[in-house]
Amino acid sequence: MSLRLGDLAPNFQAKTTVGDIDFYEYIDGSWAVLYSHPSDYTPVCTTELGRTAKLKSEFDQRNVKVLALSVDSVEDHHEWIKDINDTQQTEVNFPIIADEDKHIAELYDMIHPNASATATVRSVFVIGPDKKVKLTLTYPASTGRNFQEILRVIDSLQLTDQYQVATPADWKDGEDVIVVPAVKTEEIPAKFPKGYTEIRPYLRTTPQPNK
């Protein structure tokens, strides 16, 4: 059964390029991005892993630990990392999980039989410090992921987790946000002292409260 938003992300033990890990212990107290790759030495994945490495400081600023997964072995991963570092001009600096028996891929429903009976699709899971699934994204094997979008969503998730706000279409960090309907209009000045704009009774905006 596929994981849904709000579900507890399953724990697992795995061999990775940084050693054996327990997933819960590894991400304890942090947000996490767990994302899958069809296999090693695939061209799109090579660019994605390189991009992730280059964005390490962005993930660190957000208290996010990134873990990649492929169904090949740790040994294969280490050899592949040499290619990633060389072709993408970076240094892979996060764990790549070896899931040779596809246990984790099945646990997280990363194999979609109608797309491929054996290879994982490009799944993305954003998991909160409470170990619950906050976001899922699924791309076909042919389409590389947009990591700026993943960072944007993490910004929104972390903001809306802390304040009674939602983020509008195409929102980026620093822009105005929406006051959730659960907050009565008369309550807004106390909760959001930067002020607000009432476009409609159900659509009230306010400057981002943590900026």
* Positions marked active-site: 45
CB 178 within 8 Å of CB 165: yes
CB 211 within 8 Å of CB 174: yes
137's CB contacts (< 8 A; 6+ apart) are 123, 124, 145, 150
**DSSP codes joined into one string, 8-33:** BPPP-EEEEBTEEEEHHHHHTTSEEE
CB 98 within 8 Å of CB 16: yes
Going by their DSSP bridges, the two strands 31-36 and 64-70 should be labelled as parallel
